[in-house]
Amino acid sequence: MRELILITGEIDAGKTHTLIQRFEAKPRGTACGFATVKRFSTQEDAFVGYDLKTLATGEDMPFILLREKYKDDFSEPVFFERFVFAQAGFRLAEEIVSMGIRNRSIRDIFIDEVGQLELQGEGFSVALREALDSEKNITLALHKKNVAAMVKKFNIIRYKIIDCDDLPKTSGVHAST
Q: In the predicted model, what is the mean pLDDT of the chain?
A: 94
Determine the average pLDDT of the residues in 67-80.
95
Determine the average pLDDT of the residues in 6-20.
96
Q: C-alpha angle 45/50/54, rounded to 5°?
A: 125
Which residue from 166, 168, 146 is spatially nearest to 156, judged by alpha carbons?
A: 146
For the CA atoms of the chain, what is the radius of gyration?
15
Q: What pLDDT is recorded for position 37?
A: 97
For residue 66, pLDDT over 60 is answered with yes
Let me know if residue 158 belongs to a domain. yes
User: pLDDT tens-digit profile of 103-151?
Assistant: 999 999 999 999 999 999 999 999 999 999 999 999 999 999 999 999 9
The H or E element spanning position 142 is strand 137-143
Distance between CA atoms of 150 and 146, rounded to whole angstroms? 6
The enclosing domain of 10 has a CATH number of 3.40.50.300
For residue 171, pLDDT over 80 is answered with no
Let me know if residue 143 belongs to a domain. yes
Distance between CA atoms of 115 and 130, rounded to whole angstroms? 16
For residue 176, pLDDT over 60 is answered with no
User: pLDDT tens-digit profile of 39-65?
Assistant: 999 888 899 999 999 999 999 999 999
Q: Residue 27: CA atoms inside 13 Å, Cβ hemisphere, count?
A: 4
- In the chain, the number of structural domains is 1
pTM, rounded to two decimals: 0.92
Let me know if residue 109 belongs to a domain. yes
The H or E element spanning position 103 is none
Let me know if residue 69 belongs to a domain. no
Residue 106 near residue 100 (C-beta atoms within 8 A): yes
Q: Where in the sequence is the domain holding 121, given as residue range(s)?
A: 4-43+91-176
Let me know if residue 8 belongs to a domain. yes
Q: Predicted confidence band at 169 (pLDDT cuts at 50, 70, 90)?
A: low
